[in-house]
Amino acid sequence: MDLRNGLRPLGSTPAEFEQDLLSNLYYRRGTTVESASAQDAYETLALTVRDRLAARRARTAAAHYESNPRWVYYLSAEYLLGPQLEQNLLYSGTTDLAPAALEALGFSAEEVAALDVEPGLGNGGLGRLAACLLDSLATLDIPAVGYGIRYDLGIFKQQFENGEQVERPDDWAFQGDPWEFPAPDDWQTVGFYGFVGPEGWVPGEIVHGEPSHLLVPGYGTETVNIVRLWRARAAPASFDLRRFSAGQYAEAVQEAVKAENISKVLYPDDSTDMGRELRLKQQYFLVSCSLRDIVRRFRLRNADWADFPAKTVIQLNDTHPTLAIPELIRLLVDEEKLEWEQAWSIVRQTFAYTCHTLLPEALETWPVEMLGRLLPRHLEIIYTINEALLAEVRARFPGDLDRVRRMSLIQEEPQRRVRMANLAVTGTFKVNGVAELHSQLLTSTTFADFAALWPDRFTNVTNGVSPRRFVRLANPGLSALISEGLGSDDWLRDLSLLSNLAPLAGDASFRSRWRAEKRHAKADLGLGDPGAVLDVMIKRFHEYKRQQLKLLHVITLYQRLRNDPARFGVPRTVLFGGKAAPAYDAAKSIIRLINAVSATVAADPRTSGLLRVVFPANYNVTLAERIIPAADLSEQISMAGKEASGTGNMKLALNGAVTIGTLDGANVEIRDRVGADNFFLFGLDTPAAAALRASDYRPRTHYDSDEELRAALDAILSGEFGGVGQDVAHSLLDRDEYLTLADYRSYVDKQDEVAAAWQNQEQWTRMSILNTAGSGFFSADRTVADYLARIWRAEPVRP
Ligand code: CBF
């Protein structure tokens, strides 16, 4: 009997769903209706929904096995998945069945949904992008697996104490994770340290990688892919029974604790050598476990290594998984006994690399000493790759020693370090940036030498976001209106259909309903003053993103309100959201100053009904899904040439927020698509910003010549805002690394245009609708289609 076809289909009627919920409560949760807690109800609902997806997963796996396809493997240090329950209800078609079934257990859908904790497996843009790409890969029926680390603790929970960010552990899986399937029998062995002897590498420490997986369903299709996550476990022998028996309990487990620290926390603090070494260990742990798993999967249906690149593409999400390149060579040469040439050729046909940054400091390098101590064989392999690379450079550019020095995989000064981005470019067949401008800048600046050597290796794939999560789930009211306007909800699988909304921008009754939806979303957020612009800046805190510029504008508005009300403009609620890296003092000072300004503004009765600054703590996907639908104005104000792409800009535009922004990252493409009239552009562009930076830039000249700017900075310096923030003001006046003062006037004037535009609500609503209508390009489905056409070349397999 074919067991897969023998699976009992799970029912789709309310009665069948309720029956399954009840059985799961009894047989899997081990409790009863009488004693069930809300947590029992949540976990039971999750299992009931998961079972439906698992049945689809079984059919998907069978179809994949049958067709022995080309696989896309995505290697990423992080996945910012967001809450799972509502998405899985939607994707399994059970959204309407759940409330009644839960009611039968005595619980409301709302109280149960509130227990759905976001997995703490991601941090920011590249982690959220990874999650969107997995969603779209499944939606497009592409055989794919995401590989990552199953961190015990997520990035951190942000709280404010006296306005300062404090970091608390994010113990997200404290009560377990009902969406997770552990697979402890599939564990892998990972070595560290040791030496390279005549027989090859002899590791000095062994750690086990224990996998679990989460299901990644496609929308509107049967496919369910997986993301496989590795958790570090000590080898059983590491428990020292002798010491334990002698009462040395801490010493007895210290080896085990050290091993298990590898997957303890996402992005451990890297301000110490120990922290840096732990991060490097995490990176190798991820790639070593994942590559063995990829090889195991290849062998299920294939025998000849020559077929490996035809069956496998491995995408490196930024440089964190770059050690996969020397690791695959090591597996092929040392373990599979292939010749170096064949192994190198396989590697170069298998890997591709996505770069997500333009900040030189974000391009990872590791001390040669540390890498050689932790992974001695990998350092040898990196040296061998480097020899071949430099020979090629010398042959192409004879006598150009400077170029050789720049392109080398090893930086010599001031400390010998391995350049991971150079390794990633050298060991892959395609390298992509994440927005048009970013990809151009990569080939003209960051990777200019490599682009001169291998021009065909470089391409662009502009980021995208999931319309299911960020419109349909986040903004059900607006989604229903869009579906009504377009005559169907097909746009959820083909976002380009949004362009058909454009004519409705001219329809007064549609505009009035659109406005009503925006107002509902604001009311849901508790920011219900319909007359106020909701001005939103939600993103990680970094000086290049320039939250400090937004803050200077807020202070200017506050001062106008007090001194020159005629210039104030329109009522505004300014909302900030985001975390700063724990060791990034300058960003933390900006957070503290925002909270101080917020308190001062709130305490002044003159601001009532006119100006508010709100900063909810712990910005995450859950909060994003509430804020984005309500936003009127989207702040995308980074210094031009610094933001690789941005994806919050896309989510906000899709939900009808109008952008005020610089020509940076994907802002450029957003403006092109929504129309210059529906976008508030300000500031220096990339060449102008670069030229100013390269000149003798003196930020104080702006302070001297601009009265309003001077007043804003003086207010900070005088201690008007709780006596904090002087360091922020000094940094702007003395260095202004990111040209905040240079762009201040252009920004404030543009904000005055925003205020004038807001006064004409019909016109504003037209702009809002045209932003949504013009944003169809920014679907992650289109992004995946571009990856498929330009890099992955994998075909769909339908279960
Ligand atoms: O490509 C996704 C995002 O990645 C970042 O967040 C990153 O982590 N490097 C970039 O800063 C964003 O511009 C980009 O959208």
> Strand ranges (DSSP E) for 184-223?
188-192, 195-197, 200-202, 205-217
Is residue 15 situated within a structural domain? no
Q: Whose CA is nearest to atom 3 of ligand 1?
A: 125
Is residue 234 situated within a structural domain? yes
Cis (ω within 30 of 0) for the bond into 414? Answer: yes
* C-alpha 359 – ligand 1 centre gap (Å): 11
3-class SS of residue 431: strand
Reduce the secondary structure of 320-361 to three states and give it as a string: CCCCHHHHHHHHHHHHCCCCHHHHHHHHHHHEEEECCCCCHH
Q: So what's the pLDDT on residue 607?
A: 95
Q: Whose CA is nearest to atom 5 of ligand 1?
A: 125
Q: What are phi and psi of 659, to 5 degrees?
A: -90, 140
Q: Annotated catalytic sites, by residue?
A: 356, 539-540, 545, 647, 651
Give the integer Cα–Cα distance in Å for 704 and 699: 9
Give the integer Cα–Cα distance in Å for 233 and 720: 53
* C-alpha 775 – ligand 1 centre gap (Å): 19
Domain endpoint, select from 463, 497, 518: 463
**Same domain assignment for residues 348 and 415:** yes
Sequential DSSP letters for 576-627: EE----TT-HHHHHHHHHHHHHHHHHHH-GGGTTTEEEE--SS--HHHHHHH
Q: Tokens 């020159």 correspond to what residue?
A: 564
Q: So what's the pLDDT on residue 1?
A: 40
CATH at residue 532: 3.40.50.2000
Residue 505: closest CA among 514, 496, 492, 494: 514
Q: What are phi and psi of 424, to 5 degrees?
A: -65, -40
**Same domain assignment for residues 341 and 394:** yes
Give the integer Cα–Cα distance in Å for 783 and 434: 9
Q: CA 432 from chain center: how many Å?
A: 16
User: Which residues contact ligand 1 via a Cβ below 6 A?
Assistant: 124-126, 129, 356-357, 434, 463, 643-647, 665
* C-alpha 356 – ligand 1 centre gap (Å): 5
* C-alpha 637 – ligand 1 centre gap (Å): 15
Q: What are phi and psi of 149, to 5 degrees?
A: -110, 140
Is residue 239 situated within a structural domain? yes
**Same domain assignment for residues 755 and 606:** yes
What total of structural domains would you count in the chain? 4
Is residue 792 situated within a structural domain? no
Give the integer Cα–Cα distance in Å for 795 and 799: 13
**Same domain assignment for residues 185 and 236:** yes
3-class SS of residue 393: helix
Query: What number does the ligand 1 atom closest to the CA of 129 have?
Result: 2
**Same domain assignment for residues 233 and 289:** yes
* C-alpha 265 – ligand 1 centre gap (Å): 21
Q: Which domain holds residue 367?
A: 333-463
Domain endpoint, select from 322, 355, 378: 322
For a mutational test of ligand 1's pocket, the pick from 79, 126, 539, i.e. the residue with the most ligand atoms closer than 8 A to its C-beta, is: 126
* C-alpha 128 – ligand 1 centre gap (Å): 9
Beta sheet of 533-538, edge-to-edge order = 611-614, 572-577, 533-538, 633-636, 658-661, 680-681
Q: Whose CA is nearest to atom 6 of ligand 1?
A: 125
Query: What number does the ligand 1 atom closest to the CA of 665 have?
Result: 13
**Same domain assignment for residues 526 and 393:** no
**Same domain assignment for residues 97 and 125:** no
**Same domain assignment for residues 106 and 124:** no
Query: What number does the ligand 1 atom closest to the CA of 362 have?
Result: 9
Give the integer Cα–Cα distance in Å for 49 and 681: 45
Q: So what's the pLDDT on residue 193?
A: 97
Domain endpoint, select from 294, 322, 350: 322
Is residue 267 situated within a structural domain? yes
Instruction: For the chain, give the mean pLDDT.
Output: 96
Average pLDDT by stretches of 10, the chain with 799 residues: 63 93 96 95 97 95 96 98 97 96 94 95 95 98 98 96 97 95 93 94 95 98 98 87 92 90 92 93 98 97 97 98 98 97 98 96 95 98 98 98 98 96 98 98 98 98 98 98 98 98 98 97 88 96 98 98 93 98 96 98 96 98 97 98 98 98 98 98 98 97 98 98 97 98 98 98 98 98 98 97
* C-alpha 462 – ligand 1 centre gap (Å): 11
Q: Whose CA is nearest to atom 15 of ligand 1?
A: 646
pTM of the model: 0.97
Q: How many CB atoms lie within 10 A of CB 600?
A: 17
Beta strand pairing call for 365-367 and 417-419: antiparallel
Reading the block at residue 388, the tokens are 């071949």
Reduce the secondary structure of 67-119 to three states and give it as a string: HCCCEEEEECCCCCCCCCHHHHHHHCCCCCCHHHHHHHHCCCHHHHHCCCCCC
For a mutational test of ligand 1's pocket, the pick from 357, 432, 621, 638, i.e. the residue with the most ligand atoms closer than 8 A to its C-beta, is: 357
Q: Whose CA is nearest to atom 9 of ligand 1?
A: 356
Is residue 372 situated within a structural domain? yes
Q: CA 326 from chain center: how many Å?
A: 26
**Same domain assignment for residues 451 and 569:** no
Query: What number does the ligand 1 atom closest to the CA of 357 have?
Result: 9
Residue 145 is classified by DSSP as E
ipTM entry: 0.99
**Same domain assignment for residues 49 and 159:** no
* C-alpha 758 – ligand 1 centre gap (Å): 30
Is residue 441 situated within a structural domain? yes
Q: Count the alpha carbons within 13 Å of 155 in the hemisphere toward its beta carbon.
A: 24
Is residue 348 situated within a structural domain? yes
Q: Whose CA is nearest to atom 12 of ligand 1?
A: 646
- What lies within 8 Å, CB to CB, of 116 at 6+ separation is 42, 46, 83, 84, 85, 86
**Same domain assignment for residues 105 and 130:** no
Give the integer Cα–Cα distance in Å for 520 and 512: 12
Reading the block at residue 229, the tokens are 């996550």
**Same domain assignment for residues 264 and 338:** no
Q: So what's the pLDDT on residue 271?
A: 86
Q: Tokens 């020509």 correspond to what residue?
A: 663
For a mutational test of ligand 1's pocket, the pick from 319, 359, 647, 670, i.e. the residue with the most ligand atoms closer than 8 A to its C-beta, is: 647
